[in-house]
Amino acid sequence: MYPRLPHVTGYLTEHVAEDDFVTLEGYRARGGWLAAERALREMSPEDVVDQVTASGLQGRGGAGFPTGQKWSFMPSDPDGPSYLVCNADESEPGSFKDRLLLERAPHKVLEGILIGAFATRAEKTFVYVRGEYSRAADVFESAVEECRTAGILGRNALGSGFGHDVVVTRGAGAYICGEETGLLESLEGRKGMPRKKPPYPAQVGAFGRPTTVNNVETLAHVPHIVANGPEWFRGLGTEESPGTTLFGVSGHVSRPGLYELPLGTRLDEIVFEHAGGVPGGRKVKAVIPGGLSMPALPAGQLDVPMANESLRERGTFLGTGGIIVMDDTTCMVRVACVTTWFFRDESCGQCTQCREGTGWLHKLCERIERGAGEDADLDVLRDVSASMEGQTICAFADAAAWPVQGFLRHFREDFEAHVRLAKCPFPASFEL
Amino acid sequence: MPTITVDGRQVRVEEGRTILQALDDAGLLMDGVDVPHYCWHPGLAVDGSCRLCQVEVEGLGGLQIACNTPVADGMVVHTTSDRVRDARAGVMELLLVNHPLDCPICDQAGECKLQDYAFEYGAAGARTREPRRALQKRVPLGPTIVLDQERCILCRRCVRFCREVTGTGELGIANRGDRSVIETFPGVELDNPYSMNVADICPVGALTTRDFRFKVRVWFLEERPGICTGCARGCNVWLGVAHGEVQRYTARRNDRVNGSWICDAGRLSYREIAAPDRLRTPLVRGEDGVLRSAELDVALDAATRRLRELIDAKGPGMLAALASAHLTNEDLAALRRLLDRLGVDAAGLTLVMGEGDDLLVHPEKGANAAGARAAGFGDPAPILERLRGGGLEGLIVLGHDLLHPTLLGSPDALDDLATLIVLDTHRSELERVADVVIPGRHLAEKGGTLVNAEGVVQEVAAAVEPPFPATAQAEVLDRLAEALAPRLAQAGGDG
């Protein structure tokens, strides 16, 4: 039995418990590859882009950019090859949704890839799989091989005349290679350092060619949109954020795991009803709603729909939908320590603010946790994180600054207590 | 041409340029419009990583880096707003978080962009109490350059120089985040003919040349414009002068000639100026055949007498002149005047040919070869032929390039000359056979105009005085012409 099956399933995760779903035969037996056949044989690339645009699908990789719009940036009459990249470098702490899709629904992802490639006129797709996801890469490679043999991929994909191939490449375990241009650098064999924009990947992407980079889950939605139409998709989720998504819940909850639920499902519903709340009679202290880079919310602010338009009002974002729950024994300064340590470790180091800021934030948090902080350090934390925000090549510095701002905004008393007592007042919290 | 507005000033810009490039094109960058920057360099591709050049562009949310924001007609840019000022102060504070602040012992102090910009754009106080990163202070990257990893601000100019300009790619950044350090790749040294440019473009004291390191505090240097005399490129250099001596050459940007670079050999050729083998005194061969130092007047008298005797006895047809390609147009004009007075036609250019490359180094090893050719000093082969065959009685030689193996080689062929007058900057084998040797000045000591291989005429002024009495070649030649004039005029009258 696969150990990480979702607790709640929807159209994305239906059948993932069934072992033969990973095979071409099993996928076809459950209606798979029909959407791609329809798209490639009966629709034009513009039709597909229009459908996806009309569906309102937002990228599920963290930034929430409208997928149809992203596809529309691709040249319609390129003077050479264009590429699609499937970003399977899932490395946001708290996120583990793409792994399930890669391991249990590889053909669904591949079908989304083929449709997306057709829509963007890409002749090849590079699937960049996080290095640690070796099993996912193995499973996915088998599925690609099956599709090549069956003529689903190749010079005449699904007999449509559209030629396409898929190449699976493996990363080496850097968070920054999940940033789309850091990924492209790594894909091309260089150190994973994000590229300055302009040019954007749709102009100059992989190997100097126009490229679209889409997240695994994003592409997995596409066959369903093509099969059922944009209206069906818009019938799920909220008006601005349609569809379901895979929420990954971890931390101090009774039932950690994946939950496929419509966007707009309330955070407290996910934490308490679906995930069973905090075990051991303790209370929730903080919840990070969308992976480690998103600002945390305090217990009193969980009555928020999980969609960007609502979370934005609370000063945070959906991110990758990775929900991290922390109970009332948790020291938020320690959380800040591990968070800033992570971003310090993973910063590629190009941009001044990120390279120096991530290190400084971590050193500050650590000193405060040791009991050697002073009141002025809180202002420095605030100012340094402000200096990092919105000023760098990629969004990594924001991702490093936002959580610190969130901790300071909602849990300032934890920081102040450390300074006042000159020690950590949470002896029962997790060890650093 | 599009026009943009920067701080209320209209700037006409070329299509396709970025804001920073456009300001640089207009000659306004850091000279009218201050947009401080570290990673951007006019000779390198845009990097966009130091984030110091952020400016406000109306209509675009957030701050934009000027180095990578393309201009558009009607664009309105602000470089002095509060937001820009705060962002700059933020970057400066962060750049100093790990900097060792060892300015008192840093060679760059005084010409350091980190000092300058911290002073100009940074906050007065430091707020960090955290330990700074401890790294290697003296990493020899190769035969020419030493790296101080602690001072490095990771602008990657050096890395990009070696990748983009020399194509040698010796340097890279190892590790990640605030553990990043510049390193050579394993088993590789930073060793290419342009390696020392990385010290020029390093905005801080991280990269220093072994040649200049700890030689003199830069605030004692006066930087004077000069031209490298190594080859026909005529690269523009700054002469760093202290204690009356040229202490170094650094590249002086001239996009028509050498961009922002100079070769290592040219950079080190400043050593020729105060070299131990400089000719320090005039030399005259006595009756006994021994060459002895003499006053300039005595040497000029001796040269005048010998030339007069030779022409009287054999006529001007038995005399020739060979000019070095290092001479200025002014020197060459004076030589031409002298030869005209003497009625000498045989004049050639001793130009040494060597290796060239695709970047700057030109195979013609003389900064004014083109100028000399334009002044009528051409192929020396006929003169060399006559020298070897004993068909000449007298020779005036400027410089000693004719001793190069590709020209005359050994001075043996000059043994039979009745008269050999040498005007030179450095000692050479010519002393073995010369009758009169007169010291001249290096370009840095006299200035003048030169024509480079592309026909660009460049003028420089004298930057230093020679440390011993030496007279500019043009003046020596004019004095010779003057001394010879009355008699020759009379001889002409007789004819």
**Is B90's CB within 8 Å of A376's CB?**
no
The model's confidence at residue B61, banded by pLDDT at 50, 70 and 90, is confident
Q: What is the pLDDT of residue A4?
A: 85
Q: Which residues fall within 8 angstroms of residue B294, CB to CB, at 6 or more apart?
A: B281, B282, B283, B284, B302
Which residues neighbour B388 within 8 Å (Cβ) at sequence distance 6 or greater? B408, B413
A222: closest CA of chain B, how far (Å) = 32
Cβ of B47 within 8 Å of Cβ of A392? The answer is: no
Q: Which CATH class is domain A19-234?
A: alpha beta
User: Whose CA is closest to A217, among A317, A73, A100, A82?
Assistant: A100
B436 touches A: beta carbon within 8 Å: no
From A349, A364, A380, residue closest to B176, measured CB to CB? A349
Which has more confidence, B485 or B374? B374
Q: How confident is the model at residue B245 (pLDDT cuts 50, 70, 90)?
A: very high
Taking 90 as the threshold, does the pLDDT of residue A78 lie above it?
no
Distance between CA atoms of residues B248 and B271, nearest Å: 8
Chain B contacts of A386, Cβ < 8 Å? 90
Place of tokens 């940033």: A179
Q: With an 8 Å Cβ cutoff, is B176 touching chain A? A: yes
The tens digit of pLDDT for each residue in B174-197 reads: 999 999 999 999 999 999 999 999
**How confident is the model at residue B488, as a pLDDT?**
53
User: Which amino acid is present at B202?
Assistant: C
Q: Smallest Cβ distance to A196: which of B48, B131, B175?
A: B48
- Measured at the alpha carbon of residue A270, what is the angle toward residues A267 and A271, in degrees to the nearest 5? 85
Confidence category of residue B486, pLDDT binned at 50, 70, 90: low
Interface mutation target, options A175, A352, A367, chain B, most CBs of B under 10 Å: A352
Whole-structure pTM value: 0.94
Mean pLDDT of chain B: 95
For tokens 């991929």, what's the residue? A153
| Residue B489 confidence class, pLDDT cut points 50, 70, 90 | low
| A-chain residue closest to B67, CA distance | A196
Q: What share of chain B is helix, strand, coil (3-state, %, to 5)?
A: 30, 20, 50
Write the residue in B65, B130, B177 that is nearest to A349 by C-beta: B177
CA distance A209 to chain B (A): 19
Residue appearing with tokens 């020392």: B196
Q: Does B180 touch chain A (CB under 8 A)?
A: yes
Examine the pLDDT at B495 and tell me if it is beyond 60.
no
Per-residue pLDDT tens over the stretch B196-233: 999 999 999 999 999 999 999 999 999 999 999 999 99
Judged by CB atoms closer than 8 Å, whether chains meet at A346 and B176 is answered as: yes
Q: Does A346 have pLDDT greater than 60?
A: yes
List all residues of chain A from 335 to 394 with a beta carbon under 8 Å from chain B. Answer: 344-360, 363-364, 367, 376, 380, 383-384, 386-387, 390-393
Average pLDDT, chain A: 97
Q: What pLDDT sits at residue A173?
A: 85
Minimal CA separation from A133 to chain B, in Å: 22
Q: Which CATH number fits domain A244-327: 3.30.465.10, 3.40.640.10, 3.40.50.620, 3.10.20.600?
A: 3.10.20.600
pLDDT at A349 over 90: yes
Tell the residue number behind the tokens 């390039």, with chain if given: B401
> Which residues in chain A are contacts of B177 at CB distance < 8 A?
344-349, 354-355, 358-359
**Looking at per-residue confidence, does A131 or B493 come out higher?**
A131
Strands A211-215 and B63-65: unpaired
Say which of A355, A357, A391 has its CB closest to residue B87. Answer: A391
Strands B319-324, B436-439: parallel, antiparallel or unpaired by DSSP? unpaired
Domains of chain B: 3-80 (3.10.20.740), 283-494 (3.40.50.740)
Interchain contact, A387 vs B127, CB within 8 Å? no
With a cut of 50, say whether residue B492 has pLDDT above it: no
CATH code matching the domain that covers A332-421, chosen among 3.40.50.300, 1.20.1440.230, 1.10.287.990, 3.90.79.10 = 1.20.1440.230
Instruction: Pinpoint the alpha helices (H) of A269-395.
Output: 308-311, 332-346, 352-369, 375-388
What is the average per-residue pLDDT within A76-96?
96
User: Chain A closest CA to B178's CA: distance in Å?
Assistant: 5
Q: Which residues of A touch B63 (CB under 8 A)?
A: 390-391
Can you give the residue ranges of every domain in chain A? Answer: 19-234, 244-327, 332-421
Q: Are strands B63-65 and B54-57 parallel, antiparallel or unpaired?
A: antiparallel
Burial of B379-407, coded b for 16+ CB within 10 Å and e otherwise, reads ebeebbebbeeeebbbbbbbbbbbbeeeb
The Cα–Cα gap between A343 and A353 comes to 12
Q: Which residues of A touch B70 (CB under 8 A)?
A: 198
Q: What is the mean pLDDT of residues A256-271?
A: 98
Closest CA to A288 of A386, A404, A370, A210: A404
Q: Do B180 and A360 touch (CB under 8 A)?
A: no
Give the bridge partners for B250, in sequence order. Answer: B238
Express each pLDDT in A194-238 by its tens digit: 999 999 999 999 999 999 999 999 999 999 999 999 999 999 999
Given an 8 Å threshold on Cβ–Cβ distance, is B176 in contact with A345?
A: yes
Shortest distance between the Cα of A196 and any Cα of chain B, in A, equals 6
- State residue A29's pLDDT score: 98
Chain centre to alpha carbon of residue B491: 46
CA distance A383 to chain B (A): 8
Q: How many helices (H) and strands (E) does chain B have?
A: 12, 22
Q: Please report residues of A whose CB lies closer than 8 A to that of B50.
A: 351-352
Per-residue pLDDT band at B165 (split at 50, 70, 90): very high
Residue B319 has pLDDT above 90, yes or no: yes
Å from B48 to nearest chain A CA? 6
Residue of A nearest to B98 (CA): A356
Name the β-bridge partners of A198: none
CA distance B195 to B209: 9
Residue A271: exposed, middle, or buried by beta-carbon count in 10 A (0-12, 13-18, 19+)?
A: buried
Q: Is A38 on the interface with B (CB under 8 A)?
A: no
Percent of chain A with pLDDT over 90: 97
Which runs of E-coded beta strand occur in B7-160? Answer: 9-12, 54-57, 63-65, 76-78, 139-140, 145-147
Complex ipTM value: 0.92
Contact (CB, 8 A) for A308 and A402: no
- Inform me whether the pLDDT recorded for A350 exceeds 90: yes
Q: Is A316 on the interface with B (CB under 8 A)?
A: no
- B177 and A348 within 8 Å at the Cβ level: the answer is yes
Q: Which among B54, B70, B180 is the nearest to A349, CB-wise?
A: B180
Contact B68 A357 (CB under 8 A): no
* Cα dihedral A426, A428, A429, A432 sign: positive
- Check CB contact of A7 with chain B, cutoff 8 Å: no
**Interface contact B91-A384, CB threshold 8 A:** no
With bands split at pLDDT 50, 70 and 90, how would you rate the model's confidence at B384? very high
CA distance B161 to chain A (A): 16
Of B52, B54, B178, the CB nearest to A349: B178
What's residue B494's pLDDT? 42
Q: Which residues contact A91 (CB under 8 A, 6 or more apart)?
A: A130, A173, A174, A175, A177, A178
Residue A393 with chain B: CB contacts under 8 Å: 48-49
**Whether B177 contacts chain A with CB within 8 A:** yes
Single-letter code of the amino acid located at A397: A
Contact B177 A363 (CB under 8 A): no
Task: Return the residue of B nearest to A388 by Cα.
Answer: B90
Residues B232, B237, B242, B247: what is their CA dihedral angle, to the nearest 10 degrees? -60
Which of A197, A200, A350 is most worth mutating to test chain B (most B CB atoms within 10 A of its CB)? A350
Tokens of A300: 């009193």
Q: Which residue of A has its CA nearest to B152?
A: A352
Alpha-carbon distance B115 to B118, whole Å?
Answer: 5
**H or E stretch including A215?**
strand A211-215
Query: Among residues A57, A399, A11, A74, which one has the least CA distance to residue A215?
Result: A57
Is residue B127 within 8 angstroms of chain A, CB to CB? yes
**B95/A356 touch (CB, cutoff 8 Å), yes or no:** yes
Task: Using alpha carbons, select from B336, B342, B334 the residue that is nearest to residue B315.
Answer: B342
Rounded mean pLDDT, A97-101: 97
Contacts of A376 in chain B (CB under 8 A): 127
Which tokens belong to A39?
A: 């798209």
